[in-house]
Structure 1
Amino acid sequence: MRVLDAILREGSTVHAGKRLNMSQSAVSGALARLRHALKDELFVRHGNRLVPTDYAKSIELPLREELDRIAALLAPARTFDPAAAEGTFRITASDFFAEMLMPALADLLRKQAPNIRAQLVDLVPNSYIDSIEKYHADLALIPNQPIPDWASSLPLFYSTFVVITRRSHPQLATAGVRPGEIVPMDLFCEIGHVLFSPEGNFSAMGDAALARVGRRRKVMMTLPVFSGVCRAVAESDLIALVPRQLAERIGPQIGLETYRSPVPMDPPLIIAVWHRRSASSPLHRWMREKIIELMRILNEGERTAIG
């Protein structure tokens, strides 16, 4: 079974042998016995790679979970000690979390687990869940969406969107609208917007909300990172919709003012997603629990029932 798992991971008997510290002939022999026992070809050659059959792909995840379960069963019983633990934990998320999570996580790791390294990597555009596999990430922090069978998830926090502008925005000042007030709908649609979009789309949930009331805004620029959105707004007359927590954190630092949106928008729920194969890993469980604790602090009071 370990040979089958290694070939599924590596796509090669040579690399599977190196992974298991076995010769290629020993791996090939084990594969021949598996084919006979399971009555399936298991792999077919495609160029330099061994491509799994439909049957082999169907058992890949259950096989890995079973091997992990057996490994955990046979491992010596011990209590996880974060102070002595070593490892790397990779998080895939938008740069919102570079501001709202990573500084707090850096302080926590320095005090409690100085030999655990943390990485924040980008999301895969158009398919955030795929970031877990593509980047070999341990945890994805993403907007709520359907979760595949191989993953587990937990809700973290809700966040409303607010309008940000540079200080003393001329059109809002002329209209007598003060920070904290609702931007009039006509002005909201008239002023150019900057949109956060890793995919480069010119519409998002704000546009869907406007369409429901028969209005449109002018999206003049898209950026793949929130930091760029905020900086573009701070140095122009464009405006943007961004998460409230981010606006409150960095707005005063770069000269932004915050207003309320004229269009109703349900606050999105942000969730944590991880591969089920990592669920019982002591390091993963400890890091997962610490990150969830840090993020649930952000939850808005009016939407606390998140399980």
Structure 2
Amino acid sequence: MTRKLLLTGAKGQVGCCLLQQASALGWYVLAVDRDELDITDKAAVSLAVTEFKPDIIINAAAHTAVDKAETDIDASYAINRDGPAYLAQGAQQVGALLLHISTDYVFAGDKDGLYVESDPVDPQGVYGASKLAGEQAVAEFCERHLILRTAWVFGEQGNNFVKTMLRLASQRDSLGVVADQVGGPTYAGDIASALLTMAQRALQPDFKDWGIYHFSGEPHVSWHGFACAIFAAAVSQQLLTQAPRVNAIATTDYPTPAKRPANSRLDCTRIRSVFGIAPSAWPAALTDLSPYMPA
């Protein structure tokens, strides 16, 4: 049976991987980005869903500019809360399964251990608050929903930390990278694979484990440690002649408009137990950095 997937945010880091992988499964994918479907337009979303009648909706669209969100509040909530609400209403109307991507920023980031799905939420900025509102809207309006919280996303498409580090390495002999924020870098292709695995299982008539799941990379590392690993990989692949000196700095040395979580470590036990999905092995995703190199 050919599955019909409505994919939003199709040109983003995860969206590009989802389109490629879902197509390889033989699914019929209606892949839309902001230009094809504005998810903040309730009527447009309703029309798209009722006309296409998908089995699955995966929302990979988001307002992810964390610092910009502090002043671009209306846009953040429109994209991160209202859009998911409209997609959830549409999914419920046609009986579709809805998968929605969320973030570690829903937490304060001050816990000592790993964050589990049931931990209290306490976003520290507009981005996290708007994403939390999106989670709540999805749960409210669509019975058959799966929310995937992830962190520190990188991939061949779009802008991300890996690309930024390699660009800076071509410009500088040394740079400072924050060493007191810890998390799990997560490869976009692995997020896409996890979502599709979840969707396939959730389409089975006996599935009942709806709700929130955590998925991110291991081993956990600081941004400083991640940068060092990126440069070591690039040197070993002869993409850099030598690595820049990476100085460990504190969050307070690099002030930003939005507060970053000090602890972004997500516990991935639930997704492993329900779906058999292991955490993203981010070092394996660094084995070919050529697509990340600056032009």
User: TM-score of the superposition, structure 1-length normalised?
Assistant: 0.28
User: TM-score of the superposition, structure 2-length normalised?
Assistant: 0.29
